[in-house]
Structures are given as structure tokens and as C-alpha cells.
Amino acid sequence: MKITDLISSKTIDINASALSKEDILKQAVALIAKSGNITDVEEYQKGVFAREEESTTGIGEGIAIPHCKSNVVKAPALAAMVIKDGVDFDSLDGEKVNLLFLIAAPNTKDNVHLEVLSRLSTMLLDDDFKAKLIAAKTKKEFLAIIDAAEVDKKEAEAKEKEEDAKVGTFDLLGVTGCPNGIAHTYMAEDNLKAAAKELGYTMKVETQGSAGVGNPLTDDDIANAKAIVIAADINVDTERFNGKRVLKATVAQGISQPKELINKALNAEIQNPDKEAVKSGNNDAKESVVHQIYKHLMSGVSHMLPFVIGGGILIALAFLIDTLAGNAATAGSAFGTINPVANWFKTVGGWGMNLMLPILAGFIAYSIAGRPGLAVGMLGGFIATQSTFSISYSITGKDLGSSGFLGAIAAGFAAGYIIKGLAYAFKWMPKSAEGLKPMLVYPVLGFLCIGVSMYLLNTPFAYINMGVSNGLSWLGEHQLTLLLGVLLAGMMAVDMGGPINKAAYVFGTAMLTEAAKTGVTLEYQQYCWQMMAAVMIGGMVPPLGIALSANLFPQKYTKQERKDAMVNYVMGLSFITEGAIPYAAKDPIRVIPACVAGSAVAGFLSTLFGCSLLAPHGGLFVVPTIQYGLGNLAWLWFIVSLIAGTFVTALLLGLLKKDEPNAELGNWKGIRLHK
């Protein structure tokens, strides 16, 4: 795409005049509307003015580049105005603006136009190019000047990339970014690099624009750099620069004062001199194996959570609706689907939850191998849910069950390294055929390889899951009630949605089926229902305990973790254990034992009090249906057991977890416990 593909004679005015900044912006909006790419001109104009309120787009030297990325822009467009007499624009240097380009960018993932717009913005830094545009006699000449300059710019960019490749290491590093990431990000990049070259330094600049991160800084780049300049109006992760001289400035300063910023950066204070830089993740070979596994696993978990939360809450609403409709006590395993509205919520929520394992595996693979790994990983995650796709089933015909959570994790790692292997195996392909790899080689051979891998892996993981279930069944057959209640509740907190959790849950729901059989005694029914109550209370405690801990001991959590923890109150009360996963994944040595202990205590008390539950899910919404045990107060003793387990987990977390250095506490400093 060329710059002239985004601009036409209809959106150019080479003889504009205006009395004020507001006036010229309104004229520019009216001009760009002639492109036909703006569906709501008034809304687009509001966006342009809102962007100006953040900071002026008058960058100095007689240039202004106002811009807006909006849903009302259906395709990218440019408007250009030459204001020969100039107009006051609150520019950074206080000078009038003679040349204005207005950018309209669609709010879509397709950012092919951004490279073009960034090229234009950096071209405008050339005084000769500006002078020619201002002096153009016709719109046709104006477009021709842009065309010629763009050809030169592309050649210069290609040459610069070759030179950067030869450099290897850089004296200076930079990071640029603005809220919209359309123009100023790249102008700051260009000016910083030009200033560095003039001062006799080599420099690499990472851009954080609308097209994503460009020229990402690697561990080697950071290790060898003398200083880092951050010229950005957005939040930039600076922890990776610990031990380096770091200077922070605005993106406007990056454009107008690049030399001053570089000189200040070389004499800036060292950021956290006693701490090592955080690895950026671009050099897997230099990270420990454990850290690599953790990083890839967390990528899968973080992308999986929206499906868990969204699907889980919709399912909880289904149980609430069925409860309000009076179906909780008699629905049995059909609870949540009796009422038509409840059934709709249960169906949609279930579909969301069903995507959990494919998403988990897909984004583990994505973290390892990039975009080509995503599809292969998702297929592997889906296969992990299929109980009859295994070598054991083909040989014996016996259904061992699916490989589940463990199988999906294995699928994600297998898919990622399959793609890496294919990339290495096909590196001989010429550059002209590079496009065939992501479109043909990776999906076809990747699907084939992951299919074979999961055909073999499903069997051992299914045996692990089956072994856990058989152990529970043995305890059930011997009716070791209290021990089994403690064990089931504790298991619900071990992997929080993984195979151990699922084994306990499946056992609990199987007990409901046992209780529903004809001819069984009331005593046996109560035993079965008590096991289901222990399972549910064990799954409710971890998220509730973490949420309470974040309230009581805020010094143990970051500000964002405390904010996210509040959702766990809803998750826990809805019997969605997975809300605790991010906290357990970050600090498993402390969080998991605390959660298991709290769940086990809750399960013990619930079983001791004889709390019996007939519904397989629902959390707080089905507590009023709990019966037997201590008569009409059974539901109250269930709540007492839940509160006790929640406090055990919260207090243990307060004792075990270390204080968080980035807690950002306000007036409430939290409870301090002596260890």
C-alpha cells in the first residue's frame, strides 16, 4: 500500500486558510469526509478533538498531524491542507502551522495502513520535502511529490535495516509510543535514531504503536546498551531495564528534543542498580527450562480464564434461575436445564467452558512458536477432550475417559515444539515460498503430527485420571465418610479445574446417580449427598479464601491482583474454583497448600454436620436446598463450614506469602501476622 492510496485530490486543499486551531480542524474533518470512509462525521470530529486534548499534534517546524482511530472509520484515509499564511495550533515550538495532514484510521485488527502512515509522518521531518509540498501549485503536483519521496524513503529504510543487521549491538536503546500509536510513535523513533547517528552512536528503537510492538528489544540489546530513552505517553514496562541508565520523557520531546534526551540519558541515574533486568522473553535459550515452561503455561492460562469466568458465571445464573423456579430439590443431574431460560444460560455457558482446553493448549503453543502454533495447539487441546481417540481404545475398545487438563497442557507444549521443528526442517525453502509455510506446511503437517502425538498421549494421562477416580471409589465403597469428605474437598483445591479436581467432582456427581437408584436406603442416600456437599464446598473455598486474603493482607498482593481478587468472591460463591488459578500459578508453593488446607477443613465440617446436597453445581444458589444432617439448619451449618474454610485459607496465605514490593498500599496497611 502506498501513501497515495489513502489520499486523493478530493481530500487535498493547497490554499486553505483559518483563524484558529478549532477552525482548521473542522475544515480538515469536512475535507476527509469527502473520502466516503467516515460513517459518522460528527463522532469522528469528537475523536479528533479528544485526541488534541491529550496533547497537541502540532509537532513544530510548521507541521501538524492530527489523527483519530475510531469505529466510525470504515477504511483508512488521509486529508492534507497547505495553510500558506499559517494558523496558530498550540504547537510544541509555538510556531504557526503551514502543513497539516489529518489521519483517519479504522479501529480494526487489520493495521496494514499503519506502516504507510508511519512512513508519511517520518517523511515530514525532511525540510526539503515539506518545502516542496507547501510550494506545490496543483493537487496533482502535490501527490507526485509524495510519490517520489516515498520511493526514496523505502530505499532508505531498506538500507537502514541492512546497516542495523551489521551493527549487532547498539550503544543506545529507545522505546516510543503514543496513545493512538499512529504517527508520533514513529516520528519520535526517526528523530531519536537520526540524533544518535549525528552524535556518533548506534541506536535501536522499539515502537509500541497500533500495529503492535515493532523492533522489540532483546536481552542482548539491553545487556550491551549504555542507556535507554523512553519517549512515550503510554505505560511502558521498564522493569526489564533494571541496572541501566533510563530516561523517561514524552513522545513530543522525543520528536522535538532528541539530542537533549540522549545526552541526559547517558548521564541519568541507574534504575534499580541492585536488581537484574527482567528477561524480555526473546531469547528462550538463555532462560532456565523452568522459567520457559512457566512462561508458556501462563500464556495459556491467561487466555483461558475469560472462557472459565464467562462460561462459569452463565452456568451459575442457570442454577439460580432453576432455583428461583423451584426446581433445585427435584432436578437431580438435570439441575440448571429444567427451566427454558436456565437451559439457555447453561447451554451457552457450557459451550464457553468447552473451549477452555483448546484455548489453553492453543496459547501455550502460540507462546512457544508464535501464530503458526495456535491452530495446531487448539486442535491438540480439543483432542484432549475426546475419550475414544487413543491407542488404548483402538486396541481394547475400553473407554478410559479423556486426558483432560493434563492432556491439554501436554498438547500445547507438543504443538509448539512441533511447529519449531517444522520451521527448522523447512528452512531450506526459498524466500519466495515463505508464504507457503503458514498457509500449507504448518497447518497440514502440524495437524498430522499433533494428531499422532495425542493418539499416544491420551492413554497415559487417561490412566492417571482413572487411577485417581478408582482410589476415590474404593474409599466410597468402604463408606469412610469423614476421611472421604476431607479428601474430596481437599482434592478440589489441588489443581483447581485440573484432573485431580475433575476426578473429585466426577466422583461427587456419580454419588448423586448412586443415590437416585431404586432400592437404596435413606442412610446410603444421605452418605452420597454428603459427598456431593463436600465436593462443592471444597471448590468454593480457594477463590473465596484468596479474595478475603487480599482484603485482610493487601501488602501480600499487587494493586492489580487485589482488584482482580474481588471477582473471586463471585467466582467462589458460584462454585467456580478456576478463579484461584492465576494466584496459584504465580506462587504455587504457598497458595496451593493454603487452599487445600482451607478446603479440607470445610469438607470435614460439612461432612461432620451431615450437610447433604442433591444438586451437582450452583454454589450459593443451591445452598437453601441442603437438607438432612442437622434438620432444617443443615444449610446454616454448610455456611458455617464454608466461612471456616475460607478463613483458614486466608489466614494461612497471610502467614505464608511474602510481602509484595509493588503493593502500592493506601491508608489500609493490612493485618500483620507473626510467623
Active site residues: 67, 178
CA distance 16 to 19: 11
How far, in Å, CA of 79 to CA of 34, rounded?
9
Question: Residue 583: which residues within 8 A CB-CB, separation 6 or more?
Answer: 546, 561, 565, 591
Angle at 638 between CA 632 and CA 640, to 5 degrees: 110
Cα distance between residue 334 and residue 238, in whole Å: 52
Q: Using the CB atoms, write b or e for 468-485: b if 16+ within 10 Å.
A: bbeebeebbeeeebeebb
**CB 30, CB 48: distance < 8 Å:** no
Query: Are 392 and 400 in contact, with CB atoms under 8 Å apart?
Result: yes
Amino acid residing at 128: D
The b-or-e profile of 401-416 (16+ CB within 10 A means b, else e) is bbbbbbbbbbbbbbbb
How far is 9 from 3, CA to CA, in rounded Å?
13
* Distance set, CA 127 to CA 261, 316, 674 (Å): 22, 64, 67
Question: What phi-psi label fits residue 42: left (phi over 0), alpha (psi between -120 and 50 degrees) or beta?
Answer: alpha
Nearest to 653 by CA among 645, 662, 664, 661: 645
* Cβ pair 652, 594 in contact under 8 A: yes
Q: Is the dihedral of CA 119, 121, 124, 125 positive or negative?
A: negative
Q: CA dihedral in degrees (320, 619, 497, 311; nearest 10)?
A: 20
Q: How far apart are alpha carbons 400 and 385 in whole angstroms?
A: 12
